[in-house]
Structure 1
Amino acid sequence: MSIDISTAIAAVKSAYYGRDVRQAFVDALNAVEAAVNGIDLSQVVKVNTLSHNSIFRGADLSAKYKLTQVCDMVGNGDFSDVFIGDYFPVSGSFSVPTVSGGTMTVEYSTKLRVAGINTYLMTGASLFDKNHIVVIPDDTLCNVPMNATETTDGGFTGTYVYKQVLPAITRHFTNLVGGLTSDNKCRLLKRSVQLTTGVDGSLTSMAGTGLTGASSTSDISTERVLLPSEVEIFGCPLCGSSNLDIGFANRQLPLFRIAPEFITKQRQYYWLSAVADKTRFVFVDADAACSYTAANHNSNIGIRPILTLGGLETW
């Protein structure tokens, strides 16, 4: 038999003996638990977008919406039913050029998880002012080296991953969120970012004692898909060579702040965008450590990209 909270509290106040008092408290706790379990979080924090960045829900949004519907809701400023950790199951395949000049087919099945809400709002050299969600796959999409050779020359923008892999992922996920409309618009949003373009091999790296070579130049570009920075994952720089490796990606994504197990919940290795020294790039280890390895490491480090989704915008 269930009782409401007010009845349970009245019973506590009127109980005189040990057994009655104990039972009254049990009934009261059960009533509170039932009331809490019946609360719809989307109604409690219906309009406060910022509060959603501090609540992990982990709901399967595909049970109620199509991915394009959520993008359009968000684009209109409606975050009433979107919380950190919510996800869409996604799967598919796409082709990626290999470092040897061939082509490989990537097949994946993962959850595209909400990692931040309006995280990049009002950032960038060109002001990014669109309502959006930041999503990241739970799993790496493919394992590839950062570069064909053991060098960080050219910074992040000089890498095979930036030039060949991320464009393929961009094309694929553009189609996944509805593709280009007849008037050339899409829901995979572009934003202004700062990326490294050069490495000075004579500089001392901030990554640790004895490491030489650090990012020395950067430029502003417009991107739709990127690798995360150290700060976006861990909340601070750890193995990057200089502050240029962070750029505008200087805030931790809420998912990894309130549910840090998602940093490596799948126990996988994945690349970050930071240079470590003149021959190595930074990655996340399967045990959640931030580390670095040769740019041409080609066995088990994958791509776990960040995507920014929202309402339709011109490509």
Structure 2
Amino acid sequence: MADVRIQDFNENWKPDTNNDFLMTFNDGSESKTRLRDAFYAMVPDGAPTHNNVFRGQNLGALNATHIANIQNGTFKDMFIGDYFSINGSKYVIAGINYKRHHGDNMDLGNHLVLMPSDWSKTPAQTLNPNGKDTHYMQDTDTTAGGFAGTKLYKTYLPQIQTKLESDFGNHLINFRTIVSTHVDDSGAPDQAEWRDAKVAIPNEVMIYGSILNGNNKNGSWSNIGDEDSQLPLMRLNDSERCNNYVGSFWLRDIRSASGFARADNYGNANWGNASSTSAGVRAFFLIG
């Protein structure tokens, strides 16, 4: 290769970033780099840039190098849409440092926000809807007690956390989030509080970037809290807002005395009665 001139190569009219290589020459020696690797290597390290690039690459199992590059804030070779494959689950990077400096009594360090590629799991089941008896939010059509009073919050989130603790160990981060605790006579949340969490479900703003079906008559603090900007995953890949056409999932925004908001798999923002069996659970969590 050292005796071949650049002008002797034919033009590549159909480049394939997965299989084509970039050749470099230096004083009689040559080396090659995959085109896609060369491209991503030119993106500066750090949350601001990596939050704005969707890649969708399988990162394999979480390892010490990943953790080091999260904790040092470079997020080297980790981009939005990339995913970890752990114990039969795919966990997608939905945001980078999304909750940095959030919370009433803590200052989180560098972290990734992850979501399952489709449905959250407990040690015993996958929380996908079957349209028959999957009452994940509530057994009855009530929002009394706010999101904090739901079956999803009290029963299923702790079970999801158990599965995540098994998959991520001490890299699963505790964070602070605002949880609604009461609704007024019209069904609008009017009380909320900061609580510790290791897993939560999204609100409308995290998915769509705006408030659509939640009842915020008394202000958005109870429904939206501090998670008040769109997740980069949802901004960069519209299919994620539809849960990749897999099925509807619950959001924590209270709509009325009987229903909650949800993200539908047909692309529309919707809401449903709290006991609906047609929405599943796609929770988010932080690692670092």
Provide the TM-score with structure 2 as the length reference: 0.80
Q: When you count helix as a share of all residues, which structure comes out higher?
A: 1
Matches within 5 A, 1:61-76: 61-62=59-60, 66-67=62-63, 69-76=65-72
1:187 to 167, 171, 178: 171
Is the CA contact (8 Å cut-off) linking 1:45 and 1:80 kept in structure 2? no
Give the letter aligned to residue 253 of structure 1. L
Moved over 4 A (4+): 1-4, 28-36
CA RMSD of aligned residues (A): 2.6
Match of residue 184 from structure 2:
200
Match of residue 225 from structure 2:
247
Say whether 1:220 aligns with 2:194.
yes
Q: CA deviation at 1:150?
A: 1.0
Say whether 1:274 aligns with 2:248.
no
Sequence identity of aligned pairs in percent? 29
Q: 1:114 to 1:269 in 2, by over 3 A?
A: same
SS class of match (1:88): strand
Match of residue 38 from structure 2:
40
Give the number of the structure whose alpha-carbon radius of gyration is greater.
1
Is the CA contact (8 Å cut-off) linking 2:118 and 2:246 kept in structure 1? no
Give the letter aligned to residue 162 of structure 1. Y
Q: Deviations over 1:248-293 (max 9, x none)?
A: 1101000110111122214311101111000101111120211111
Distance 1:30 1:287 in 2: 34
Q: Deviations over 1:110-140 (max 9, x none)?
A: 4210011111111121233310000111112
Matches within 5 A, 1:1-315: 4=6, 7=7, 27=11, 37=35, 39-62=37-60, 66-67=62-63, 69-91=65-87, 109-141=88-120, 142=127, 143=129, 144-145=134-135, 146-177=137-168, 179=169, 186-202=170-186, 213-242=187-216, 243=220, 244-263=222-241, 264-297=243-276, 299-310=277-288
Distance 1:3 1:221 in 2: 65
Q: Which moved more, 1:256-265 or 1:36-45?
A: 36-45
Q: 1:291 to 1:38 in 2, by over 3 A?
A: closer
Q: Deviations over 1:182-221 (max 9, x none)?
A: xxxx11111111111101123xxxxxxxxxx211111111
SS class of match (2:188): strand
Is the CA contact (8 Å cut-off) linking 2:178 and 2:193 kept in structure 1? yes
Is the CA contact (8 Å cut-off) linking 2:46 and 2:74 kept in structure 1? no
Is the CA contact (8 Å cut-off) linking 2:62 and 2:86 kept in structure 1? no
Give the letter aligned to residue 182 of structure 2. G
Give the letter aligned to residue 305 of structure 1. A
Gaps of 5+ in 2: 23-33, 121-126
Gaps of 5+ in 1: 9-23, 92-108, 180-185, 203-212, 311-315
Q: Which moved more, 1:162-171 or 1:41-50?
A: 41-50
Give the letter aligned to residue 212 of structure 2. L
Match of residue 98 from structure 1:
none
Give the letter aligned to residue 83 of structure 1. F
Distance 1:235 1:153 in 2: 26
SS class of match (1:125): coil
Distance 1:240 1:114 in 2: 26
SS class of match (1:293): strand
